[in-house]
Amino acid sequence: TQLLEQSPQFLSIQEGENLTVYCNSSSVFSSLQWYRQEPGEGPVLLVTVVTGGEVKKLKRLTFQFGDARKDSSLHITAAQPGDTGLYLCAGAKNFNKFYFGSGTKLNVKP
Amino acid sequence: EAGVTQFPSHSVIEKGQTVTLRCDPISGHDNLYWYRRVMGKEIKFLLHFVKESKQDESGMPNNRFLAERTGGTYSTLKVQPAELEDSGVYFCASSPRQGLYEKLFFGSGTQLSVL
């Protein structure tokens, strides 16, 4: 069974729309990371959240770690075609061992 | 600064053959990780090196997989003999230190196809 469930699996929206991606688990993590992956490339780290309830902003992207450190969300405001890609969450146990969600494939149409 | 380099980018082999994947981490990064994604599944942890020592190899699927990191620099992952279910993308990642703020830098991966 998968430790981290991501939803939705696929998302196709128009440029300018807002969206939220969810990452849920019944397990507690010491930290949680969000990555973006382009075709043929490896995942690229966007953010790390470590404190329950923590909110981090990266331009139009807002990341939140759940109070109990079991879940997280990624919100994109006014999505752009350049936001297109595969978004992955990864929770850390024992600091270094990361468990990945299966990803959300986002397509932003111009 | 060069990123994490993996070689080859693609490998197609027949069942029963041997394949060796190579990873060159970012210079100075003591931590090196191997992950893989098999078709339709999530990226899964295989093992973690700190310098030349195996810190955690709990994700290695079976004894057909052998990872080495001689001298604490580049690492190899050998699959012998390869089976059909070994097909997938193998990622290597490196990071400069341990702790809460671990930042993994991933390579582009090796796409392994076992026929």
Residue A63 belongs to domain spanning: 5-105
Q: Considering only residues B70 and B1, tell me which one the structure prediction assigns the higher pLDDT.
A: B70
Q: pLDDT by residue (tens digit) across B30-67?
A: 999 999 999 889 999 999 999 999 999 999 999 999 99
A50:B100 CB<8 A: yes
- B-chain CB neighbours of A97 within 8 Å are 45, 48, 56, 58
Instruction: Give B106's contacts in chain A (Cβ within 8 Å).
Output: 35, 42-44
**Any B CB within 8 A of A88 CB:** yes
Compute the average pLDDT of residues B66-76. 93
Total beta-carbon pairs less than 8 A apart between chain A and chain B: 62
Identify from B41, B43, B92 which residue to disrupt to test chain A contact, counting A C-beta atoms within 10 A and taking the largest count.
B43
- CA nearest to A23, candidates A11, A9, A5: A5
HEC profile of chain A: CCCCEEECCEEEEECCCCEEEEEECCCCCCEEEEEEECCCCCCEEEEEECCCCCEEEECCEEEEECCCCCEEEEEECCCCHHHCEEEEEEEEECCCEEEECCCEEEEEEC
Q: Which long-range contacts (CB under 8 A, 24 or more apart) does A39-44 make?
A: A40/B108, A41/B108, A41/B109, A42/B4, A42/B91, A42/B93, A42/B106, A42/B107, A42/B108, A42/B109, A43/A88, A43/B43, A43/B91, A43/B104, A43/B106, A44/B106
- The Cβ-side half-sphere exposure at B15, using a 13 Å CA radius, reads 4
The domain total for chain B is 1
* Distance (Å) from the alpha carbon of A108 to chain B's nearest alpha carbon: 22
pLDDT at site B15: 97
Residue A77: which CATH number?
Answer: 2.60.40.10
As a whole number, mean pLDDT of residues B94-100 equals 74
Total of domains in chain A: 1
Is B1 a residue whose pLDDT tops 90?
no
Per-residue pLDDT tens over the stretch A36-76: 999 999 999 999 999 999 999 999 999 999 999 999 999 99
B96: confidence class by pLDDT, cuts 50, 70, 90:
confident
Residues of A in contact with B56 (CB under 8 A): 94, 96-97
pLDDT digits (tens, 9 = 90+) for A22-42: 999 999 998 899 999 999 999
- In terms of residue numbers, what domain contains B37? 5-114
Kindly provide the b/e burial profile for residues A38-60, where b requires at least 16 CB atoms within 10 angstroms of the residue's own CB.
Answer: eeeebbebbbbbbeeebeeeeee
Res. B70 pLDDT band, cuts 50 70 90: confident
Mean pLDDT over the full length of chain A: 94
The domain that holds B93 is classified in CATH as: 2.60.40.10
What's the confidence (pLDDT) of residue A3? 87
Identify whether A93 is part of a domain.
Answer: yes
Residue A110 lies in a domain: no
Which pLDDT does position A96 carry in this prediction? 75
